[in-house]
Amino acid sequence: MKKLTLPERPHWRDHAREVGFTFADMHGAPYWDESSAYAFSLEQIETDIEDPATELHAMCRQAVDHIIASEELMDRLAIPEAHRDLVAESWHRGDPEIYGRFDLAYDGNGPAKLLEYNADTPTSLYETAAFQWQWLEDQLAAGVLVEGSDQFNGIHEALVARFAEVFAPETDLHFTAVADNPEDYATVEAMAWAAREADLGAHYCDLDKIAVSEDGQFLDDQDRVMGVLFKLYPWEDLLREDYAAHIAGSGCLFLEPAWKALLSNKGLLPVLWQMFEGHPNLLPAFFAQDIEDAITGHGAVAPAVAAAFGRAEAQLHAGHVRKPILSREGASVSIVKQGEVIEVSQNTSYADQPQILQAYTPLPRFDGFRPVIGAWIVGDTCAGLGLREDQSRITQDLSRFKPHFITG
Q: Where are the domains of the chain?
A: 2-264+367-406, 284-359
Taking the CB of residue 254, how many other CB atoms lie within 10 A of it?
20
- Phi then psi dihedrals of residue 14, to 5 deg: -60, -45
Q: Please give the distance of CA 39 from its chain centroid, rounded to a whole number.
A: 22
Overall size of the chain counted in residues:
408
Residues 6+ positions from 303 with CB-CB distance below 8 Å: none
The DSSP secondary structure of 143-185, one letter per residue, reads TSSPTT-B-SB-HHHHHHHHHHHHS-TT-EEEEE--TT-HHHH
DSSP type of residue 233: S
Residue 408 has pLDDT above 70, yes or no: no
> Average of pLDDT values for 140-151?
97
- As a whole-number percent, the residues of the chain with pLDDT over 90 amount to 88
E strand or H helix at 196, and its extent? helix 182-197
pLDDT tens per residue, range 345-396: 877 777 788 999 999 999 999 999 999 999 999 999 999 999 999 998 877 7
Q: What pLDDT shows up at residue 343? A: 85
Q: What pLDDT shows up at residue 398? A: 79
* Alpha-carbon span 108 to 111, nearest angstrom: 8
Q: Are strands 99-105 and 201-204 parallel, antiparallel or unpaired?
A: unpaired
pLDDT tens per residue, range 233-290: 999 999 999 889 999 999 999 999 999 999 999 999 999 999 999 999 999 999 999 9
Residue 331 has pLDDT above 80, yes or no: no
> Average of pLDDT values for 210-228?
96
Residue 327 has pLDDT above 90, yes or no: no
> Average of pLDDT values for 135-152?
97
Lowest model confidence (mean pLDDT) among 24-28, 151-155, 172-176: 24-28
* Alpha-carbon span 75 to 298, nearest angstrom: 25
* Alpha-carbon span 313 to 300, nearest angstrom: 12
CA torsion sign for 181, 96, 112, 39 is negative
Q: What pLDDT shows up at residue 339? A: 86
> Average of pLDDT values for 187-197?
97
Higher pLDDT, 262 or 326: 262
Q: Are strands 172-176 and 201-204 parallel, antiparallel or unpaired?
A: parallel
> Average of pLDDT values for 185-190?
94
Residue 115's pLDDT band, with cuts at 50, 70 and 90, is very high
What's the alpha-carbon Rg for the chain, to the nearest Å?
21
* Alpha-carbon span 50 to 82, nearest angstrom: 37
Q: What pLDDT shows up at residue 329? A: 73
What does pLDDT average to over the chain?
95
Q: Please give the distance of CA 16 from its chain centroid, rounded to a whole number.
A: 24
Q: What pLDDT shows up at residue 132? A: 98
Residues 6+ positions from 286 with CB-CB distance below 8 Å: 270, 273, 305, 308, 309, 312, 316, 356, 357
pLDDT tens per residue, range 40-98: 999 999 999 999 999 999 999 999 999 999 999 999 999 999 999 999 999 999 999 99
Query: Do 275 and 61 form a contact (C-beta atoms < 8 A)?
Result: no
> Average of pLDDT values for 400-404?
97
CA torsion sign for 111, 129, 399, 287 is negative
